[in-house]
């Protein structure tokens, strides 16, 4: 019974936060001369007005779900991985490399699966750089992961304009990936791809792991109180490393699935699924199934916002404002308590 109460209070907080933010945004737009009803209907048309638009929203939710899970897994263990942005890019560039210049001959589905896993590993490796710096040199993860984001942008930019550059154009972009390295499309006439379905399966799997397994339990105890976890004989350090690897792997997979499913290449234009993942995680209250719903909502928010930009000329940047407000509203409403952050966990005893 109390479990149900806790779950419903979490849902209430999220719904309350969403309502409050929508209200604030509508009032703000009304002051700028946009009638709330027009804004809402235009937004809904953009987000779910037709099957194609809905498919686009779900497709958009895919990477958000994965980066949201990446943030949530880490945060629940008290590991401040703010680096999903960089890990996403590293995963994406690995996928593109194996889809263009490093093509491996063999049965398509097998090679594609191997490369997807490899891309996830590359994201995990990028994340573990931060863990390594924390373990050996005491560099706080919250800072190193952010700094590594900017380094990843430069590394990927260098690869896109260097070894991976499409020789047929001067634009800063890679060649299109080979057809056998693309993720199959689920719904004819859209780009809703297999990666999004995989992301949903991963969310459910992660929920079961956190809920039903010893490792999942340990991860959460480490997050709540590392000292208590240590006293109980849990391998605190090992769990933090594992969580970082999983978190980076999820973000890397998100990047790989995005290029293999949607764009088919990388260009100089920025993506911000990594940072948005933090908003998704908070809105989903760090619960894998909550994050599934939150990602769908934010996916609709994003496609609806591009409709608003096209039809009413409301800048797409407003989407970032909404995300920021949503995080604040969930935080303020939910009272997720603060904990010690900048000190390496290993030294906190």
Partner 1 sequence: MNDALMVVIAAQAVTAAVPLVLAGTGELLAQRAGMLNVGIEGLLLTGCIAGFTGAALGGCAWIGLAAAIIAAALLAALFAWATVVMRCDQIVTGMAINLLAVGGSGTAWLVAQGQGYAELPANAGFSRGIVPGLSDATQAWLRDLPFIGPLVFDQYGLALAMALIAATAWWLLVRTRIGVIIHALGDAPDACAANGIAVRRWRVGLVILAGALAGAAGAYLSIMRTHGFSPLMTGGMGFVVLALVIFGRWHVGGLVAACLGFGVIDALQSHLQSRGLNAVIPYQVFQALPFIVALIALAAMRRGTSGPRLLGQAWPTER
Q: Applying CB under 8 A, which residues contact partner 1?
A: 75, 80, 82, 133, 137-140, 142-144, 146-151, 153-155, 157-158, 161-162, 275, 278-279, 282, 315, 317-325, 327-328, 331-332, 335-343
Distance CA 246, CA 259 (A): 20
Toward partner 1, which CB reaches closer, 74 or 210?
74
Q: How far is CA 183 from CA 23, 105, 177, 231, in A?
A: 39, 17, 11, 46
Toward partner 1, which CB reaches closer, 179 or 347?
347
Min dist CB 111 to partner 1, Å, is 29
Toward partner 1, which CB reaches closer, 194 or 318?
318
Distance CA 156, CA 84 (A): 14
Contacts of 318 (CB under 8 A, 6+ apart): 25, 305, 308
Toward partner 1, which CB reaches closer, 23 or 110?
23
Toward partner 1, which CB reaches closer, 214 or 349?
349
Min dist CB 78 to partner 1, Å, is 11
Distance CA 23, CA 199 (A): 31
Helices 84-99 and 108-137 pack at an angle, to 10 degrees, of: 140
Toward partner 1, which CB reaches closer, 310 or 343?
343
Residue recorded with tokens 């509508």: 26
**Cβ 115 vs Cβ 99: under 8 Å:** yes
Toward partner 1, which CB reaches closer, 26 or 147?
147
Toward partner 1, which CB reaches closer, 260 or 325?
325
Min dist CB 136 to partner 1, Å, is 8
Min dist CB 176 to partner 1, Å, is 23
Min dist CB 1 to partner 1, Å, is 24
Distance CA 50, CA 70 (A): 31
250 three-class SS? helix
**In the structure, how many helices (H) and strands (E) does the chain have?**
13, 0
Min dist CB 39 to partner 1, Å, is 15
Toward partner 1, which CB reaches closer, 162 or 189?
162
Q: How far is CA 208 from CA 201, 203, 214, 250, in A?
A: 11, 9, 11, 16
Angle of CA points 106, 262, 164, to nearest 5°: 60
Min dist CB 177 to partner 1, Å, is 22
Min dist CB 341 to partner 1, Å, is 4
Nearest one of 133, 135, 289 to 208, comparing CA atoms: 289
Distance CA 207, CA 289 (A): 7
Min dist CB 30 to partner 1, Å, is 16
């Amino acid at each position: 019974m109390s479990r149900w109460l806790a779950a419903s209070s979490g849902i209430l907080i999220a719904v309350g936060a969403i309502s409050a933010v929508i209200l604030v945004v509508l009032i703000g737009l009304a002051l700028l001369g946009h009638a709330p009803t027009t804004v809402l209907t235009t937004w809904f048309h953009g987000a779910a007005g037709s099957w194609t638009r809905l498919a686009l929203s779900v497709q958009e939710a895919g990477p958000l779900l994965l980066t949201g899970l990446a943030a949530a897994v880490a945060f629940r263990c008290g590991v401040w991985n703010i680096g999903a942005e960089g890990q996403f890019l590293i995963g994406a560039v690995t996928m593109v490399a194996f889809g263009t210049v490093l093509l491996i001959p063999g049965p398509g589905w097998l090679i594609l699966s191997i490369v997807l896993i490899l891309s996830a590993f590359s994201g995990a490796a990028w994340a573990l750089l931060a863990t390594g710096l924390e373990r050996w040199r005491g560099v706080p993860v919250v800072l190193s992961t952010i700094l590594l984001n900017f380094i990843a942008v430069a590394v990927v930019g260098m690869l896109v304009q260097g070894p991976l550059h499409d020789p047929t154009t001067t634009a800063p972009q890679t060649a299109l990936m080979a057809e056998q390295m693309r993720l199959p499309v689920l719904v004819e006439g859209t780009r809703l791809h297999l990666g999004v379905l995989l992301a949903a399966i991963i969310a459910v799997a992660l929920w079961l792991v956190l809920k039903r397994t010893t490792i999942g339990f340990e991860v959460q105890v480490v997050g709540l109180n590392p000292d208590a976890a240590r006293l109980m004989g849990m391998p605190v350090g090992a769990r933090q490393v594992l969580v970082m690897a999983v978190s980076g792997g999820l973000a890397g997979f998100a990047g790989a699935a995005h290029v293999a499913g949607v764009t088919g290449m990388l260009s100089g234009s920025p993506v911000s699924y990594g940072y948005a993942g933090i908003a998704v995680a908070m809105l989903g209250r760090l619960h894998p199934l909550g994050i599934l719903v939150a990602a769908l909502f934010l996916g609709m928010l994003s496609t609806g916002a591009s409709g608003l930009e096209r039809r009413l000329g409301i800048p797409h940047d407003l989407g970032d404002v909404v995300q920021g407000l949503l995080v604040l509203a969930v935080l303020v409403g939910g009272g997720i308590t603060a904990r010690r952050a900048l000190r390496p966990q290993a030294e906190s005893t």
